[in-house]
Structure 1
Amino acid sequence: MALLPEPIPVHVLSPFSQAFSKMRMKAYAETHLGASGLRFKENLIKAFIEYVRSQDEICCGRPEPSPEGIVVAWWKKQKHRHIAGLPQGRLYPKLKRRSHESAYLAEVTCHYITDKDADLNLIQKKALQRWEKVKNELMDSMAIKDASLIADGHGIIQSVISIFNDLFLLGALRRVKFDWIREAEGVPDMALGYGSDSSIQLHPTSLNSDPEVSLAVSRLSTLLHEMIHAFLAQFTCSSCKKLWHGRDWQVLAKRIEEVAPGLLGFRAALGRFDGLIYDLKHGIEKLPSMHDVLHYNFEQVLPTDELYGEGAPSKLVEDIPTKLVKSRRLSW
């Protein structure tokens, strides 16, 4: 009998929730009736940036990545372990579970991620070759409404996890089991994915509400989203671990979004903005600094202005409000 997933914590809405309602109203006011949902999303991101700028004097600072050892806890007298180097002769850097400073781990991993052929190491080149062999068939098979009906779906997703692990996560992610989220297990229908240091689950039918995103791309983007959570959960030390959508998760997700079109052949949308908004509304994360928000560049996953013209295949702005945070992550 399969074990049930850990109970999903219930979080009380924070004061930010009321402020976000005002941002949404402002975005509506600035979006013409009948305009695309993407235009509304763009205006909402702008309203959020304006809010962060107005609150910047009270935002907490974020630790900068540092190769120097940092004491994890004064009573343990233990220092972070730092990565000796990027993969060259060996398959992956030697990482120790729950031992690395999160900002430094994110920085090194971002340096590893590249879409330039000349900079790909051997393990990445082999992963890319594997992806090219399965990409077309995979995208077709994952385009059905209920992904749990895919023949050998578990095996297919496990192989994709292996490919993405080698391409983006130093080839270091270990022993992560995949399964489909089952509503009978108590996971809300709104949850697109669930991730931990030992498992990744995707909802077989619940998808990103963006009409521009295909079923296959939505599922693969959610898979990447959860893989980053699993990676940080495995290798970040307990003292500085950030389990939700904070700075270290954001910079890794942003970097993958940047290179995905060149490597994978599609524009990945990892739900960075919606994830952060959910965390802020429920008091899980503190408001980021203006510097961090500008660095996150949430607009990078939105299509160019040409897609906002007449005939753009998108939902009307009236349909958007109840689905803004659908890509949030409900685990941890």
Structure 2
Amino acid sequence: MATMSDATTSAAKASSSSQRSQQPDIPTNPSSPISRNNTSVCNCDECQPWLYVDRDDIHICAKYGLNGNPNDELIPGAHEPLDLARRTIAIFDEPIARISREQEIAVWTWMGWRQSPYAAMLDVGDLSHVPVEELRIPFGIFNRFFFRGAIRGANFCWGELGENGKHGYLTSETAATCSVSDDLTHAYFTFSPRRPAPKPGRRYVDGLLSDLLHEMTHAFIDQYACVGDRCQRPLCKSLARANRGITGHGRAWYRIAEAVSHVAADIFHFRADLGIKSAIRREASTPGGVDPSKHEPMVCDAVQCLRSA
């Protein structure tokens, strides 16, 4: 015999099912977001529904506790890529008067190194006879300023033509590449020693350092961002396509690279060209890829989203 409680529960389930069936379809055009008054699907930065497929999570930013404190310790392989990008940018995208002591040291070191004979050694078209370890000083400067010194176990070499993806080898059209070890403790950087002619007003070393920053951004994300098939969290798997990217040039890389370019110009007085346009074209043209530039700026702040939901 059905009780009053059973009847109430059944009615509630029916009402909930009816509400779900009345929710509008998820739009494919990011310029037409779902109204928060008409649906319970979260529209925060991580949850933009038009980027993802087959995802049933509601308010995943609350469920998985994103928007961590930028000063929290970084854990290798543990961070949602876009949240990692936001926290990282918050550390270095500050007025010069508010940067940390470590970052200030990096700026002063850069100013001295930029005018030194060591920088001049890298300012040539053929680097095959230059010790590759000369890259370690600018790497240390950029690592300390932009990435909190977090990129671990850096190894450098000049590359040869060969099988792409292996340390020390490059394809004919690749100027640089990076890979990380399976245990995330080492980053392997390979650069072409034959540098393309610089554009007017630019130097050979500018292109090399720009490639270094491009690959350091990859290394940082690869060492600290979660890979969906590693942890099996629904969040990481569903966000990986757009935020990490098919080619590695997803929203996380795009955001950090854009911020690094602007801050390098403002604070280091260095016009870094990280190849952002060509990178996002490659990402967008890859099957399953998403053009990260079409989904910026953020739809809304995730904290504000939770307050409004």
Assess same fold via TM > 0.5: yes
Structure-1-length-normalised TM-score: 0.59
Q: Following TM superposition, by how much is the alpha carbon of 1:199 offset from its aligned partner in structure 2, in angstroms? A: 0.9
The corresponding residue for 2:45 is 64
The corresponding residue for 1:182 is 160
**Pairwise mapping of residues 34-113 of structure 1 onto structure 2 (< 5 A)?**
57=29, 64=45, 83-86=68-71, 93-113=72-92
**Pairwise mapping of residues 99-178 of structure 1 onto structure 2 (< 5 A)?**
99-114=78-93, 116-137=95-116, 138-150=118-130, 153-178=131-156
C-alpha RMSD of the superposition: 3.1
**Pairwise mapping of residues 154-303 of structure 1 onto structure 2 (< 5 A)?**
154-184=132-162, 187-197=170-180, 198-207=187-196, 210-239=199-228, 240=236, 241=240, 242=244, 244-283=248-287, 285-288=289-292, 290-292=294-296
Q: Following TM superposition, by how much is the alpha carbon of 1:208 offset from its aligned partner in structure 2, in angstroms? A: 7.2
Return the alpha-carbon distance in structure 1 between the equivalents of residues 174 and 133 of structure 2: 22
Q: Name structure 1 gaps, 5 residues minimum.
A: 1-54, 67-71, 73-77, 87-92, 296-332
Contact 1:194/1:202 (CA < 8 Å) preserved in 2?
Answer: yes
Other structure's SS at 2:253 match: helix
Other structure's SS at 1:201 match: strand
Return the alpha-carbon distance in structure 1 between the equivalents of residues 32 and 278 of structure 2: 21
Change in Cα spacing, 1:156 to 1:220, as seen in structure 2 (3 Å) is: same
Return the alpha-carbon distance in structure 2 between the equivalents of residues 60 and 135 of structure 1: 47
Higher RCO by CA contacts (8 Å cutoff, separation 6 or greater) = 1
Contact 1:105/1:236 (CA < 8 Å) preserved in 2?
Answer: yes
Code of the residue aligned with 2:174 in structure 1: it is A
Return the alpha-carbon distance in structure 1 between the equivalents of residues 140 and 32 of structure 2: 36
Code of the residue aligned with 2:177 in structure 1: it is Y
Deviations 1:249-285 (A, max 9, x none): 0110010111112332221110000011122223262
Q: Following TM superposition, by how much is the alpha carbon of 1:115 offset from its aligned partner in structure 2, in angstroms? A: 5.8
Deviations 1:120-149 (A, max 9, x none): 101111112221221112442221111232
Code of the residue aligned with 1:163 in structure 2: it is I
Give the paired residue count: 222
Other structure's SS at 1:248 match: helix
Return the alpha-carbon distance in structure 2 between the equivalents of residues 157 and 98 of structure 1: 26
Q: Following TM superposition, by how much is the alpha carbon of 1:177 offset from its aligned partner in structure 2, in angstroms? A: 1.0
Return the alpha-carbon distance in structure 2 between the equivalents of residues 282 and 209 of structure 1: 28
Code of the residue aligned with 1:141 in structure 2: it is M
Contact 2:125/2:204 (CA < 8 Å) preserved in 1?
Answer: yes
The corresponding residue for 1:52 is none
Structure-2-length-normalised TM-score: 0.63
Other structure's SS at 2:194 match: coil
The corresponding residue for 1:298 is none
Change in Cα spacing, 1:173 to 1:212, as seen in structure 2 (3 Å) is: same
Contact 1:65/1:107 (CA < 8 Å) preserved in 2?
Answer: no
Q: Following TM superposition, by how much is the alpha carbon of 1:289 offset from its aligned partner in structure 2, in angstroms? A: 6.6
The corresponding residue for 2:23 is none
